[in-house]
């Protein structure tokens, strides 16, 4: 068993679990080098798409909505000068890469399907796991954008709503450089909203419009190599990074093969989903 029964119980109770030293520093560095290479090969003249959690409906474009089975690059909201030029070099301007690194890139594929990750999924009850989504999140120095308080099941909805997010710290994550924050036990409040495709574009279906009690947030400062498990219903967020240090992370979301996956979720793929094989 990759984690103890007590840790599994802790995960179910709090809605999250921090596993320190889950991956070696060398494995983190290998992912970082691969992401660097992907960004190096990306030509920003092809398309410019911005990721922001502030105006998600308006700023979401076709490039984002068709990225479920691709490797695509999204800029930080504050990456640009008024004249549209980049404030910093390309490598320091990308917010994230998504959303099928785990299927399309051999280094991310190997990392995501490591036997240790599979064993962990099994311990959490994901015997029939499918790897739905992956993201490489840069949280760039100076301009790293905030991610407002949300539940991952708002964006990756299944019936029943039972998904788990794996958040790997590829660098130390601190309050200063924009670590995750979460509301312990907040997953028990149920799902507040869903982000759905409609004929007119994306919209939020709101079931409960009471704002999150953000005074209940606790910072999850972790060292490089740590893994944070997040229940899909757990409210969490991260603040801006105005420090001089980046805060790279890799995230992977697992769903159950037997769960219903709605056609109005934003993430749709033609490439079939795969488990750990």
CB of 222 to ligand AKG, least distance (A): 11
In angstroms, what CA-CA distances link 230 with 73, 159, 180, 234?
Answer: 24, 18, 11, 7
Q: How far apart are CA 260 and CA 158, in angstroms?
A: 6
Nearer CB in complex with ligand AKG: 119/132: 132
Tokens of 13: 């109770």
Q: How far apart are CA 241 and CA 147, in angstroms?
A: 11
Nearer CB in complex with ligand AKG: 23/137: 137
Kindly state the number of chain residues that form the binding site for ligand AKG, as judged by CB under 6 A. Answer: 9
Asked if 234 interacts with ligand AKG (CB under 6 A), we say: no
Nearer CB in complex with ligand AKG: 180/233: 180
Q: How far apart are CA 104 and CA 88, in angstroms?
A: 28
Q: How many residues does the chain have?
A: 277
Q: How far apart are CA 163 and CA 175, in angstroms?
A: 26
Task: Kindly tell me which residue out of 72, 236, 248, 256 binds ligand AKG, with binding defined by CB under 6 A.
Answer: 236
Q: How far apart are CA 48 and CA 198, in angstroms?
A: 24
CB of 3 to ligand AKG, least distance (A): 21
Nearer CB in complex with ligand AKG: 139/256: 139
Q: How far apart are CA 133 and CA 28, in angstroms?
A: 19
Are the CB atoms for 151 and 192 separated by under 8 Å? yes
Asked if 158 interacts with ligand AKG (CB under 6 A), we say: no
- Rounded (to 5) percent helix, strand, coil in the chain: 25, 30, 45
List the interface residues with ligand AKG, window 30-49 (CB under 6 A).
none
CB of 250 to ligand AKG, least distance (A): 10
List the interface residues with ligand AKG, window 74-133 (CB under 6 A).
none
Asked if 192 interacts with ligand AKG (CB under 6 A), we say: no
Asked if 152 interacts with ligand AKG (CB under 6 A), we say: yes
Nearer CB in complex with ligand AKG: 117/137: 137
CB of 6 to ligand AKG, least distance (A): 26
Asked if 228 interacts with ligand AKG (CB under 6 A), we say: no
For ligand AKG, the nearest residue by Cβ is: 238
Asked if 153 interacts with ligand AKG (CB under 6 A), we say: no
Sign of CA dihedral 197, 199, 203, 206: negative
Tokens of 125: 């009850």
Asked if 187 interacts with ligand AKG (CB under 6 A), we say: no
Asked if 238 interacts with ligand AKG (CB under 6 A), we say: yes
Can you spell out the DSSP letters for 136-150?
A: EE---TTTBPPEEEE
Q: How far apart are CA 254 and CA 232, in angstroms?
A: 10
Nearer CB in complex with ligand AKG: 63/122: 63
Q: Which residues bind ligand AKG (CB under 6 A)?
A: 137, 139, 147, 152, 180, 236, 238, 249, 251
């Amino acid at each position: 068993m990759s984690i103890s029964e007590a840790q599994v119980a802790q995960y179910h109770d709090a809605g999250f679990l921090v596993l320190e030293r889950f991956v070696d520093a060398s494995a983190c560095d290998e992912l970082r080098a691969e992401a660097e290479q992907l960004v190096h090969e990306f030509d920003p003249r092809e398309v410019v798409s911005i990721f922001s959690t502030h105006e998600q409906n308006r700023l979401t474009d076709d490039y984002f909505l068709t990225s479920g089975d691709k490797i695509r690059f999204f800029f930080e909201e504050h990456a640009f000068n008024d004249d549209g030029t980049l404030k910093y070099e390309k490598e320091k301007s990308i917010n994230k890469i998504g959303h099928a690194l785990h299927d399309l890139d051999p280094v991310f594929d190997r990392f995501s399907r490591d036997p240790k990750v599979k064993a962990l999924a099994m311990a959490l009850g994901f015997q029939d796991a499918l790897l739905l989504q992956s993201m490489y999140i840069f949280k760039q120095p100076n301009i790293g954008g905030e991610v407002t308080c949300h539940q991952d099941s708002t964006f990756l909805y299944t019936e029943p709503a039972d998904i788990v997010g794996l958040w790997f710290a590829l660098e130390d994550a601190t309050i200063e450089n924009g670590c995750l924050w979460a509301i312990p036990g907040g997953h028990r409040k149920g799902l507040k909203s869903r982000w759905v495709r409609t004929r007119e574009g994306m919209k939020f279906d709101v079931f409960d419009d009471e704002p999150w009690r953000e005074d209940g947030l606790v910072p999850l400062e972790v060292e490089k190599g740590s893994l944070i498990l997040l229940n899909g219903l757990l409210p969490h967020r991260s603040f801006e990074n105005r420090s001089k240090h980046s805060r790279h992370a890799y995230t992977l979301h697992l769903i159950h093969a037997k769960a219903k996956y709605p056609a109005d979720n934003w993430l749709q793929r033609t490439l079939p989903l795969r488990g750990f094989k």
